[in-house]
Chain A
Amino acid sequence: MESVLLRARGVPNSRSIDTYLAAGGWSGFAKALSMTPDAVVQETIESELRGRGGAGFPTGRKWSFVPKDHPGPRYLICNADESEPGTFKDREIIEHDPHMVLEGIAIASYAIRSNTAYIYIRGEFVRWAALLEDAIGEAHRQGWLGRNVKGSGYDLDIWVHRGAGAYICGEETALIESIEGKRGFPRLKPPFPAVVGVFGKPTVVNNVETLACLPHILTKGAKWFASIGRPKNTGTKLYCVSGHVKRPGVYELPMGVTFREIIEGPCGGIREGHTLKAFFPGGSSAPVMRASEVDVRADFDACAEAGTMLGSGGVIVLDDSVDMVETAANLAHFYAHESCGQCTPCREGSDWARDILDRIVAGHGRPADPETLLRICRFASQGMTICPLGDAFSLPISSIVKKFPEEFERHIRAASTVPQKKLPVLPWAGSRPGFGS
Chain B
Amino acid sequence: MSTKPILSVPTEQLENTTFDATMEERILELLKRYPTTRATLIPVLWLCQERYGWLAPGVIRAVADRLGESPAYVEGVATFYTMFYTKPPAKFVLQACETLSCAVCGGKELLHHLESRLGIKPGEKTPDGVFQLVGVQCLGACGTAPVVQINDDYYENLTIERLDAVLDDLKGRS
Contacts and interface: CB of A to CB of B under 8 A. Distances in A.
Interface of A: 73, 82-88, 90-91, 122-127, 157, 159, 161-167, 178-184, 199, 240-244, 248-250, 284, 314, 316, 318, 321-322, 327, 330-331, 333-334, 337-338
A184 B80 contact: yes
B143 interface: yes
A181 B39 contact: yes
B96 interface: no
A263 to B, nearest CB: 13
B99 A85 contact: yes
Contacts of A167: 137-138
Given A127-B153, A243-B105, A165 B81 contact: yes
A180 B42 CA distance: 9
Contacts of A86: 100-101, 138, 142
B90 to A, nearest CB: 17
B154 interface: yes
Interface string B83-105: 11000000000000011110111
Interface string B59-86: 0000000000000000011001111100
A242 B143 contact: yes
Given A82-B140, A242-B101, 12 more contacts: A123-B81, A162-B42, A163-B42, A165-B81, A181-B36, A181-B77, A241-B143, A248-B142, A248-B144, A250-B143, A284-B99, A284-B100
29 contacts: A85-B137, A85-B142, A88-B143, A88-B144, A122-B140, A123-B46, A126-B152, A127-B152, A127-B153, A161-B43, A162-B46, A164-B81, A164-B82, A179-B34, A181-B36, A181-B42, A182-B77, A199-B36, A199-B39, A243-B105, A316-B100, A316-B142, A321-B104, A330-B99, A331-B100, A334-B137, A334-B138, A337-B137, A338-B137
Nearest to A183: B80
Contacts of B137: 83, 85, 167, 334, 337-338
Given A184-B80, A316-B142, A178 B100 contact: no
Contact of A166 (B38, B80, B152): B80
Interface string B143-159: 11100010011100000
B153 A248 contact: no
Contacts of A165: 81-84
A83 B138 contact: yes
A383 B149 CA distance: 36
A99 B36 CA distance: 28
A322 B103 CA distance: 10
A242 B35 contact: no
Q: How big is chain B's contact interface, by range?
A: 35 or more
A161 B81 CA distance: 14
B104 to A, nearest CB: 6
Contact of A330 (B100, B141, B154): B100
B77 A243 contact: no
Nearest to B30: A159
A207 to B, nearest CB: 13
B81 A166 contact: yes
Contact of B38 (A163, A180, A241, A333): A180
B40 interface: yes
Q: Which 3 A-B pairs have the closest CB atoms?
A: A164-B81, A165-B83, A165-B82
B104 A243 contact: yes
Given A73-B35, A85-B101, A314 B142 contact: yes
Contacts of B152: 126-127
A127 B149 CA distance: 12
A23 B107 CA distance: 39
Given A88-B140, A180-B36, A241-B143, A316 B101 contact: yes
A179 B39 contact: yes
A327 B46 CA distance: 35
Nearest to A396: B100
A162 B45 CA distance: 11
A90 B141 CA distance: 10
Contacts of B133: none
A159 B33 contact: yes
A163 B143 CA distance: 22
Interface string B108-136: 00000000000000000000000000000
Given A167-B137, A314-B142, A85 B81 contact: no
